[in-house]
Structure 1
Amino acid sequence: MGNVYYRFEAVPVLAPLIALLCVFLAVRAVRGNAGPQWGWRFVPIRLVAAVYVAGVIAVTHFPFVISYGKYADHMPWTSQVSWVLLINMDPSAIPNIIMTVPMGILLPLVTKKITSWWRALAFGAVVSLAIEVSQVLGCVLFHNYRGADVNDVIVNALGCLLGYWTVRLAVKISFLGNPLRHLALPGSVLATGPGSVKRTALARSRW
């Protein structure tokens, strides 16, 4: 393949995607034929969720490098994966926890599935595992110098759980809980109205 080196920065790649999403949401809200769930009321939470996802991708995968030949990282990918649980954890665990706190906060606002702390913990672990696997695949396929750490899965899951507990506490305070319920997507755990998951006995018992 020869000597290849491409470097992609986060903003030029992700900013146009966010802009396209803004246009899409605005068009659906203006047309009004997609149902009330696509109205202006729910544009903010969708944008916040999208910007958060883009931010996580930016932090974990950018700058995205494709390199071959003399520019490639020739270290075996197995040497760039930390398999040791907890022992090798360093101060980077703190920003990794912080990174997924917003995820735990957003989940009850956008989905009906996360109705208990253990589901929030499991969701955070699955998402983190997917990130680590994709980083390893990037290292193997594109030689982009990114490694993976099994401890990141643990701390990211804890961050998601912390965010979930934070929103659970917040909804008990009227001046925080009412705006959150107003912004929550229809059918989500915190949604108000007939489709609210919180109205079910199961959700009340777990949430």
Structure 2
Amino acid sequence: MGDVNYRFEAIPTLAPLVALVCVFLAVRAVLGNGPRWGWRFIPIRVVTAGYLAGVAGFTFFPFQIMYGKYADHVVWYNQINWYFLISLDPSAIPNVIMTVPLGILLPLVSGKVISSRRAAAFGAVFSVVIEVSQVLGCVLFNNYRGADVNDVLVNAFGCLLGYWMVRMAIRIPFLGDALRYLALPGSALAIRPKGVGVVAEGVGVKGVQSGQEGRL
């Protein structure tokens, strides 16, 4: 293949993708493709797309494809930190912060994250996907990306913090009303129809008639 060294920067790569998402959402809203795609739900979808782009930019970019003399010749499994907790240091703080918005967004876009346990589990799975992708990047493209088992722990914790922040926010009337208004249909915080039960964390409550509560 010869000597190859391609470098992709985050903003030129990801900004057009986020812009396309915005255009797509605007077109769906104009066409009126069902209540789930109205103008009301565009902000949370745009924020979600922007957040995912930001995570990709933080974890994968600048993305390099390197072969030949430019390749990082370190064996891929040596790019993984296997020491759980022992090597944890202050550099883990950015990884905690990175997934706090994920924990905030999940109840607004998903109907499955309705407990602290599920929030932490989702954060861990999200982190595992990132770490595995980074290792694959090292294997396939010979770049310098690696993985750290501690990132899974701190990412799960960050997601849990974000989830707890939402649980506290919905107790404040005006914040709770705003979040429920913005939440996507079918999500944990979406306004429920009258007579539909509410599922609290670990507790089922049936026959709620207010029509204003979600399942968080």
Identify whether the pair has TM-score above 0.5, normalized to the shorter chain: yes
Gap regions ≥5 residues in structure 1 = none
Structure-2 residue corresponding to 1:152: 151
Aligned mates of 2:66, 2:171 — CA distance in 1: 51
2:80 aligned residue: 81
The structure richer in helix per residue is 1
5 Å-filtered alignment, 1:1-207, equals 1-32=1-32, 34-194=33-193, 199-203=196-200, 205=203, 207=216
For 2:138 and 2:91, how far apart are their aligned partners in 1? 20
**How many residue pairs are counted as aligned between the two chains?**
204
Q: State the identity %.
A: 68
Name the amino acid aligned to 1:13: T
Partners of 1:139 and 1:105 in 2: how far apart? 31
RMSD: 1.5
Query: Within 2, Cα distance between the matches of 1:37 and 1:68?
Result: 46
- Misfit runs of 4+, over 6 Å: none
Contact 1:181 1:191 in 2 (8 A): yes
TM-score, L = length of structure 2? 0.91
Q: Is the 8 A contact 1:101 1:162 kept in 2?
A: yes
Distance 2:30 2:90 in 1: 47
CA distance in 1, matches of 2:194, 2:39: 18
* TM-score w.r.t. length of structure 1: 0.95
Tell me how far 1:175 sits from its aligned partner: 1.8
In structure 2, distance between residues paired with 1:195 and 1:122 = 31
5+ residue gaps in structure 2? 205-215
Displacement after TM superposition at 1:203 (Å): 4.3
